[in-house]
Amino acid sequence: MFPTPNLDHITSNDYENVYEPAEDTFLFLDALEKDIEFLKNNINPCICLEIGSGTGCVSTFLGQLLGDGTTHINPYATAITVKTAIHNSIHLDAITTNLTSGLLPRLYNNVDILCFNPPYVVTSSEDVNSTNLIERAWAGGIDGREVIDKILPLVNDLLSSNGVFYLLVISDNKPDEICERMWNDYKFQSKILASRLAGREKQLILKFWRNQS
Ligand SMILES: C[S@@+](CC[C@H](N)C(=O)[O-])C[C@H]1O[C@@H](n2cnc3c(N)ncnc32)[C@H](O)[C@@H]1O
């Protein structure tokens, strides 16, 4: 069993600007740990990328398992992500960018593991572009899908031939519709890798991979 990354370098002041790890974060860790043998045996990953790393808890955990990079729209989070990695003796690169802007074409079909715990809460569309960084960390707009829907087309460009994409969603995000879209548009297969109830919110980790047949 791999330990949850040590986050005791992060102060309550930091959490005024950076998303504090919560049930969704820990479900992500559980799902990655559950899939570790698959990742090691079938993928032998070179490039792992997390979008929206927050404190860097998920990336650092993945680094403990394997290695690599993160992106974030929030510069405070990029800085904390790097600190969390160093604090846990992990090497990773972090950049401040919107989703994966600037990473293509360099990473075109080169990412072996892509992770995103997105802003998924159902809100108004205005909230998605809030100037409050914490609100922006969870506000997902209509159906909580407005940020999620922007990343789906990029997955096809980013993933390597046997790469995998892990996405946290809640039932309000209409996971079946997301899976159907990934199949219809890009022929990605999918499954629910992990799920749990957090209050009234049903959280799921979806796993996507290219259809090989
Ligand atoms: C639900 S939080 C998850 C944070 C962290 N990965 C975790 O699991 O604790 C979503 C994160 O995505 C970031 N984010 C939101 N929109 C983004 C965008 N367009 N590009 C990159 N990151 C974004 C937020 O700032 C926030 O840190």
pLDDT 10s digits, 136-159: 999 999 999 999 999 999 999 999
Predicted confidence pLDDT, tens digits, the chain (213 residues)? 889 999 999 999 999 999 999 999 999 999 999 999 999 899 888 889 999 999 999 999 999 888 556 777 899 999 999 999 999 999 999 999 999 998 998 999 999 999 999 999 999 999 999 999 999 999 999 999 999 999 999 999 999 999 999 999 999 999 999 999 999 999 999 999 999 999 999 999 999 999 887
pLDDT 10s digits, 78-100: 999 999 999 999 999 999 999 99
Instruction: Return the CATH number of 21-210, one of 3.20.20.150, 3.40.50.150, 3.30.70.1090, 3.20.20.80.
Output: 3.40.50.150
Residue nearest to atom 8 of ligand 1 (CA): 25
From ligand 1's centre to the CA of 71, what distance in Å? 9
User: Which H, E and C letters describe the chain, residue by residue?
Assistant: CCCCCCCCCCCCCHHHCCCCCCHHHHHHHHHHHHCHHHHHHHHCCCCEEEECCCCCHHHHHHHHHCCEEEEECCHHHHHHHHHHHHHCCCCEEEEECCCCCCCCCCCCCCEEEEEECCCCECCCHHHHCCCCHHHHHHECCHHHCCCHHHHHHHHHHHEEEEEEEEEEEEHHHCHHHHHHHHHHHHCEEEEEEEEEEECCEEEEEEEEEECCC
Where do the structural domains in the chain lie, given as residue ranges?
Answer: 21-210
Residue nearest to atom 14 of ligand 1 (CA): 52
Closest atom of ligand 1 to 28 CA is 8
Residue 57 CB–ligand 1 contact under 6 Å: yes
In this prediction, residue 67 carries a pLDDT of: 56
Pocket test for ligand 1, best of 24, 51, 133, 134 (most atoms within 8 A of CB): 51
